[in-house]
A and B are shown apart, each in its own frame.
Chain A
Amino acid sequence: MTQVTQITDLNEVVRKAAEYRETQDESVRDRIVSNIYNEAETLASSVVSHLERRVDWDRKIDNIVTSRILGYPLMLALLGAVFWVTLSGANVPTDMLANFFFGLEEHLSALFFQFGAPDWLHGLVVLGTYRALAWVVSVMLPPMAIFFPIFTLLEDLGYLPRVAFNLDRAFKRVGAHGKQALTMSMGFGCNAAGVIAARIIDSPRERMIAILTNNFVPCNGRFPAIIAISMIFLAGGVISVYGTILAAAMVVALILIGISVTLLVSWLLSKTLLRGEPSTFTLELPPYRKPQIIPVIVRSLFDRTLFVLTRAVIVAAPAGALTWIFANIYIGDLSVIGYVAGWLDPFARAIGLDGIIVLAFILGLPANEIVVPIMVMSYLAAGSMLEFDSLLAFRQLLLSQNWTMLTALNFMIFSLLHFPCGTTLLTIRKETGSLKWTVLAATIPTIVAVLVCFIIAQGARLTGLV
């Protein structure tokens, strides 16, 4: 090292450096990094002084949230609390919005008739487009406007890395990455966001697992529907403390099913298509920060709520119009929807659903938000529903279509496990750059959903529960 030779050519320098690095193996880098740290330490110690901290709150909080006894129950309780607040907070505004929009619908209809508009125009605009919009807004907006800010607060607080810390072992066991807990959390907001978030996982194999299984977390387009159905069938559509707790427990149970399926599918993938050893894992547990409550609420309302709602509305309007058309074009004495639904019915019955539900899920491919509106509209076109302005009316509609506890449960399970929405699939295509994996990302969940629903339906029928 003391030998000095003069080199003037820059390329020569680079070549020499590379040559030198070859012979020195790891030790050069080690020495460089060590020196940088020593230098930084010297500098820091001369200018930085630490205040004597009275209480180490971070440590105290972490002692609780990652404790052996309380760690997992607390995670569950927190999840339950978030959904309970969302559920019970969303009820009243949902009914109010539904009331408002369907009150407005009457005026709209009156206006159409006053100007002598033809029936098909009134049907297409009011009964199709407007109704779908009204439904998407009144069912989606309140839960989103409550859930997003709460979730953003938890995110800002720094709680999510603790979740990853608690769950890492389970993910390691199935051959996945501990940070998958983080991408899963992002999935609650939007699965497409969860898929993009999988970039934080360095190992391509584990990143792919995270992408392919993100869908098993119910996104914002799905859990308002899940919430509505569990409110209807577990709380009887009436707002009561007991009922909302029961419905929130149902949502938490579904999420636990989703997490179990995530782990199971991750394990299967890492034993078959994505074989390999778990890679390294380093995760920082950052200091807790006091969230800036007002900016968080404003940001999540505008950046997330309005963004997601706009997307839903853009898809819902044409979907509503199309659904109305298909529900009103008749082939013989059956509408197109009735025809397709009838064709799907035997299969749908086998998995505890009905033809219209399956059709709604298929037509809901562009955005999960429109599954319920499509289903409602198809039912309405077939049935005889007069007033339609609350959860109770929704309950009556479903009961009149022979919904049972099994239908409700399997609707929720199918919603939880089925193929991701179009936006998520496009995002997967972009992130993986592969059509093959995108197709798999759609097929794997679909097979899982059909299988699980089939088992539940047949089990319930064999044991005589339904």
Chain B
Amino acid sequence: MNGKTQKDISIFDRVEELLNEEESFALVTVVKGPPVGEKMIVFPDGKSGVDFEGSLGNSDLDRVVSRDARGELAAGRSGVRNYGESGEAREETVQVFVESFIQPPQLLIVGAVDFTAALVKIGKVLGYRITVCDAREIFATTQRFPLADEVIVEWPNKLIEKIGQTFGPRDAVCILTHDAKFDVPAIVSALATDVGYIGVMGSRKTHEDRINRLYEVGVDDEGMTRLRSPIGLDIGSRTPEETAISIVAEIIALRTGRSSIALSETKGPIHD
């Protein structure tokens, strides 16, 4: 059922619906050329057999643009592309804007402590879907973390083994228990995933002790270099809220590959 929009539902209605459901999709809009303003909604591969809804007014154009939009969506990119009237390459009669809406990145926080509450707050500001996990029932409650999307009572390593295959480069795991009995198995499980960031809280002394324990259970140097331990950037944080800022700043800097040095001390473009 390509190119059909549900009856009586406008494209904007569908966009709102899909945003609320946190679905991944691309909104394609013709921004230049004869069909200016025409729109289609393109879904990722394998979404119940529906490739796209709506139409740009030409079935060949629809086919080519939806294919390209799916590629942009997979990469999480938004931008303009040019085509001929029937989707020809190397022509510029029709310009479309592909706007990718992707599921929010995940932040898994291991350990239900005061720092967790602050990190949940800051993480929500940045748009993360947040799960808090702790094996201790009395600490891991939704009352303590009302902003978290999910609070799960379970051994953290077991939870990571269960949901770890959904982790990707945009996602983060923050291990805040600073208790070796929870930390070490959680780190080992997190290292087995493709998660982009693994941060582990603890003093220098805790860190040294943890490194030794991790070597003992067979974590190699490559695994060690993936760990951000002690967690966070060195901005002199003391309170849970300040610490949360230093953690998310480190997550951002790791994703962008930037230096974390004050811009006043560096030269060159501020945005890549």
A and B physically associate: no
List B residues at the A interface (Cβ < 8 Å).
none
